[in-house]
Structure 1
Amino acid sequence: MRSARRPTTPSSSPPPWWSARPPHPAPRGPPPGADAPPVPVPVPPSHRPRVEVHPLSIGGRADPARLVFTAAPGAGVVVGWCDLDDRFRWVADEIDVVEPGETLPRLPVAHAVWRPRPDLETATEGWLTAGGPHHPVLPTALDSDELTDLAEVCPTEPVLIDADTTRRGPVEELRRSAAYHRPARGPRAQRPVPVGVPGHGPPAQRIGRGGGTGSSSQFQLWWL
């Protein structure tokens, strides 16, 4: 005897996850104006690098070709690298590059005019107090935060002069940095000095004032 088939009822369980996924959206075309060529930014003639040949007054060599241009206005940072015998230091000053007030015909090189932060007097005093060199570099694609991160990786001691720097700020910062890098309770750690290399003599002969016999440690503590 054949039994009657029981009617089926819809299941109350949720559908599987793959059946609930929405269909893939149709690929979109490029946005309006994407195929249009980029609009060139006008560059003043003074900012375009040009090759010029000028007489060379030193070295007795032929006149070199130089790349001459004026740096574009904007924010930047001036960085100098100095050797403290037991460590390296980066002295950085945040600046604002401005347009020169007049042409600079006696500077046939890449040149820039800037306003240091916070002002000329404070920035100059902080730069000299930190031992900043007279041959710095001027990047405008990097800021002080990136330079500080790079100094932590190197490792190098960073000294930053910015809009919040005061007249006494660099002095106090350098004293704290000296206590961190060169504790007073122990001998000063020195990097190994190459033997027989010109310019790498004992510290007293390298940075002593006026060829004196005072040690570099005494000189640096007096300078800080």
Structure 2
Amino acid sequence: MKILLAEDDPNFGIVLRDYLELHDYDVTLCVNGCLAISAFRKGTFDICILDVMMPEKDGFTLAREIKKLNPDIPLIFLTAKAMKEDMLEGFKIGADDYITKPFDSEVLLYKIKAILNRHHPSTIEKPEPDEYAIGKYRFLHKLRQLTLNGNIQKLSPKEAELLHLLCQHLNDVMPRELALQNIWHEDSYFTARSMDVYIAKLRKYLKDDATVEIVNLHGQGYRLCVQQGVML
């Protein structure tokens, strides 16, 4: 999704742009309103985040010009002022939200997601599957159950999370660092040895199906190999 960010503070603008790009947004940063309206005319954007106080063209004027070009484009105003009159002005122009600096960047991120989901329902993230077929086995992630022919193997929380990561990378490399950071929250010699023990346990649980194998890729990680494995 593409964001037009108009912010005249270069340091704050760069930090915010980089933060949003880390979360997979394509961000165009403009340091004043004139550059922003020029960028909007040339490009296609899904949402605009506009600072109110900017040189050459303030955020409210910029927003009116943007709305003339695309009345449906969602807008978020950023401002250092929390005056009621300014907030009302922003909402009259058609703002979806009005955020006062300083603000929590994570809150802004969730506001952006919520607004985009309202305007673009197809962007709503699909939930992760909870049930996987691993050869003849069936793995229920949340229940931490691995079943074969009606026999249920109850997994520990770490076993279930590790198998879940392997299923997400089915027939592909699951990086060792990914599992250590997500499950053990530390990448060290001792946590790596601990993960090796859990891998050995999972191999034992999956040994009754010859089509299933957990392969150790030296220096990379592990691969859950399943012949004709299908993820549900």
Whether TM exceeds 0.5 here: the answer is no
Larger Rg: 1
Point out which structure has higher relative CO (alpha carbons under 8 A, 6+ apart). Answer: 1
TM-score computed with the length of structure 2 as normaliser: 0.22
The structure richer in strand per residue is: 2
Task: Output the TM-score relative to the length of structure 1.
Answer: 0.23
